[in-house]
Structure 1
Amino acid sequence: MKRTIQQYILFTFRSILFWVLAFSFMIVIRYFGIFEEKGVSILPKYELPLIDLLSYVAISAIPFGIFYAFVEFLFDRFLAKNLALGVIVFTKNFIYLVILIFLVSYVVEYSGYMLDVSLEEERGWWRTNKTFWSIMIYFVVASLVFSFIKIANEKFGRGVFFKMLTGRYRKPKEEQRIFMFLDLKASTTIAENLGHYTYSQLIQDCFYDLNVIVRKYDAEIYQYVGDEAVLTWSYKRGIKRNNAVELYFGFLDRITSRSVYYQEKYGLIPEFKAGIHGGTLMVTEVGSVKKEIAYHGDVINTTARIQSQCNTYHANVLISEALLQKLELPEKYHTQKIDDLLLKGKSKTVTIYSIDKVARVGDSS
């Protein structure tokens, strides 16, 4: 809950910042008379200095930014799973448009002064006012831009979209990253029992639950490969608050909290196994038609092979010793050395540990 609140506050701050900039850009255009109607003077028509106007605009943008973030949060939390992306974008922008019309219609004096719209008309004036609708279109376009940035950020991972825009990965870059390979247990048996359609629904539900908690632990989803998800962190974020380990158990708690749903719909409660490892590798852009960020190096191969040992040692989570030593796991976790393994394709052994959560007294699980 604490992490969710922190993320919501951070997103609200970003929303406010975006709308302060959008409102300010609009008022600058109006202030200098850009795009004015034919025959109308383009000289500044506001009596207040521009800096004072921008201050008022910033203040007025704050409640809208808070409202915008709240609507986005509600859609992401409760509706994103069941609605198509296009429907979500259209519905949200329709809500914003209605709220804007309401605010401008009822906060007449202030809105008219700030937007430079003549409001000396009876209620419903906005239906035929061209200047008003040009401003509304501006806000709708700004909202679409915000949605596009948010979608792109979710597609590529937090911060990756901006790095692609700036060309950071046009040439391969060396980075330290942590990876987790998360795989459904007994997937072949489950697929045979459920059938391919119901099995696909199960995977869809599991990965939706994964997405719900990913942001809480500062993780990025690198790939979905069948019933397997590959997650990654920068080394700093993965080690911070033990995110690289906490995510697995947070995901486990999420699945457990919805165990009744899974049991009723699929007749089972899905279980996952994970392999975790970190180190130095190369990051670069690949492709031109379907451009994406790719990671190349031994770290990924080693992580995959660590995960493949989960069945052999009947473990839920396996982690390399090199990464485990970087973490400061609390007492609620129990670690046990598995062995010094010579993984396939490796010339040196890799020491692997299992991680389990210590059951508390009175815990039925």
Structure 2
Amino acid sequence: MRRTLQQYLLFTLRSIAFWVLAFGFFIIIRYFGVFEEKGVSILPKYELPILDLLTYVAISSVPFGIFYAAIEFLFDRYLAKSLALGVVVFTKTFIYLVTLIILVSSVVEYTGYMLDVSLNDDGGWWRTNKTFWSIVIFFVVASLVFSFIKIANEKFGRGIFIKMLLGKYRKPKEEKRIFMFLDLKASTTIAEQLGHYTYSQLIQDCFYDLNMITRKFDAEIYQYVGDEAVLSWKYTHGIKRNNALQLYFNFQERIASRSNYYQEKYNLIPEFKAGIHGGTLMVTEVGTIKKELAYHGDVINTTARIQSVCNKYNASVLISEVLLKDMKLPETFDTKKIDDLLLKGKATTINIYDVSKIV
């Protein structure tokens, strides 16, 4: 709950900053130099207090930014999964339009007060007012920009999109990261029991639960491959508070908390196995039609191999010794060393540990 609140507050601050800049930019391009334009009929003795107006708009943008963040967070967290995308977009747009009418009406009244002129004659002035609809168009474009940035950050990971815009990954870069390969146990058997359609719904539900906790543990979703999810952390973020391990057990706890739902809908409670490993590898942009970040190196292959032997040792989560040494596990965790393994495709052995959580 605490991490969820932190995420919401951070998103709210970003929303406020964006809308203060967006509306401030609109006021500047709309009113800066307005008295030098031909056809402006305001009396010369009235000068538009541009700095006062910018200050007022900035202050007005704060509650709007808070409101915008609340709506986005509410829809993303509780309604987006159950409603069609078109319904979500229409509903949010309607809410924002009503809010915008109220906000712009307030700004117009304030500007009229400052100029000592009447800028609106009736309560429905906005229906035929060209300035208002220009604001609406600007708002729609700005909202799309905000959504685009938000989606891009979710796609590539926090901060990665900006780095891609700046061309940081045009050439391969070396990074130290942690990876987790997370796979559904007995997936083939479950798919045969449920059928393809119901099985796909199961995977949707499982990955939805996974997405609800990824930010809590500073994780990034690298990719989904069938019923497998590949997660990644910056190395320091993954070992901090043992995030790379804690995420797995928290994910299992979340599924357990919804066991009644899974049991009633699918007649089973899904279980996942995971392999975790970390180290240095290369990251770069690949593709031109479908551009994305790709990680190349032994870390990826080793993590996949570790996860592949979970069934052999009847283990739920296996972690490499080199990564385990960098973590500081509390006494609530129990570790058991598995014999040195010569993983397929490897020339040297690697030490792997089975990790469990003491109830």
The total of aligned residue pairs comes to 358
- Partner of 2:326, secondary structure, is coil
Offset at 1:54? 3.2
Taking structure 1 as reference, are residues 227 and 117 closer, same or farther at Cα in structure 2, changes over 3 Å only? Answer: farther
- Measure, in 1, the Cα distance between the counterparts of 2:115 and 2:220: 41
Residue type of the alignment partner of 1:88:
V
Offset at 1:107? 6.7
Q: Which residue of 2 aligns with 1:262?
A: 262
- Partner of 1:325, secondary structure, is helix
- Partner of 1:58, secondary structure, is helix
Q: Is the 8 A contact 2:104 2:132 kept in 1?
A: no
Offset at 1:90? 3.6
TM-score (norm 1): 0.92
Q: Which residue of 1 aligns with 2:70?
A: 70
Q: Which residue of 2 aligns with 1:363?
A: none
Aligned identity (percent) is 77
Q: Which residue of 2 aligns with 1:165?
A: 165
Residue deviations 1:41-86 (CA, integer Å, cap 9, x gap): 7999754353x44333222111111101100111011111123444
Q: Which residue of 1 aligns with 2:316?
A: 316
Offset at 1:352? 0.6
Offset at 1:159? 1.8
Offset at 1:358? 0.6
Taking structure 1 as reference, are residues 206 and 116 closer, same or farther at Cα in structure 2, changes over 3 Å only? Answer: farther
Q: Which residue of 2 aligns with 1:48?
A: 49
**Of 147-156 and 218-227, the range deviating more from structure 2:** 147-156
Residue type of the alignment partner of 2:74:
L
Task: Confirm whether residue 208 of structure 1 aligns to residue 211 of structure 2.
Answer: no
Q: Which residue of 2 aligns with 1:253?
A: 253
Residue type of the alignment partner of 1:243:
N
Task: Confirm whether residue 357 of structure 1 aligns to residue 354 of structure 2.
Answer: no
- Measure, in 2, the Cα distance between the counterparts of 1:230 and 1:193: 25
Q: Which residue of 1 aligns with 2:197?
A: 197
Offset at 1:9? 0.8
Gaps of 5+ in 2: none
- Measure, in 1, the Cα distance between the counterparts of 2:270 and 2:45: 64
Q: How does 1:33-182 map to 2 (within 5 A)?
A: 33=33, 39-40=39-40, 46-48=47-49, 50=51, 52-105=52-105, 109-110=109-110, 119-182=119-182
Residue deviations 1:329-363 (CA, integer Å, cap 9, x gap): 2222111112211111111111111111111xxxx
Residue deviations 1:244-266 (CA, integer Å, cap 9, x gap): 11111111111111111100000
- Partner of 2:356, secondary structure, is strand
Residue type of the alignment partner of 1:313:
Y
Taking structure 1 as reference, are residues 258 and 26 closer, same or farther at Cα in structure 2, changes over 3 Å only? Answer: same
Taking structure 1 as reference, are residues 69 and 111 closer, same or farther at Cα in structure 2, changes over 3 Å only? Answer: farther
Task: Confirm whether residue 330 of structure 1 aligns to residue 334 of structure 2.
Answer: no
- Measure, in 2, the Cα distance between the counterparts of 1:177 and 1:114: 56
Backbone CA RMSD of aligned residues: 2.5
- Measure, in 2, the Cα distance between the counterparts of 1:74 and 1:254: 20
- Partner of 1:75, secondary structure, is helix
- Measure, in 2, the Cα distance between the counterparts of 1:35 and 1:278: 62
Offset at 1:164? 1.4
Offset at 1:131? 1.0
